[in-house]
Amino acid sequence: MNIQTIVKVISAVFGLLGVIFLFRVIGAGDEEIKMAASMGDFGTVSPLVSLSIAILVITVIITVLFSLLNLASSGQKLKKSLLFIGCFVVILVIAYGASSGVETPLKDGEILSASGSRWVETGLRMFYLLAALAIGSMVFFGGKKLFNR
């Protein structure tokens, strides 16, 4: 039995389970699910959510595994990937160094810690830096292509 047949069988099993769980949710109806959820019973929806999480985890594992296998087959690809990962880590360090954390009260009465606040600010700064780099590279190479004609 080859890998393609195994993948088809597993996909069919997951698809059949998804359809069964979906029909359970549809058959129960919105009101019954809302009433059960208000009492803490999520038994109708939980299997569908668990199946979705299992499929996501399997997909991520397989994707990472085959990506690493593909990179390991070529030294040049591995070198380029490590270079880009290193650049990403440098941007992360720069964004983290430029961020400051302050305890922040949230709407629900909880308090966001200074560390959590610093990581949120780091994420925002990384987004801005990466967006600026992307826009800058598009402008640079677009202009370079325009002037080389």
Q: pLDDT-based confidence at 63, cuts 50/70/90? A: very high
pLDDT over 70 for what percent of the chain?
100
- Residue 55's identity, in one-letter code, is I
How far is the C-alpha of 71 from the C-alpha of 5, rounded, in Å? 26
Say yes or no to pLDDT of 1 above 80. Answer: no
The most confident of 35-39, 70-74, 78-82, 83-87, by mean pLDDT: 83-87
CA atoms within 13 A on the CB side of 13: 9
The strand pairing partners of 86, in sequence order, are none
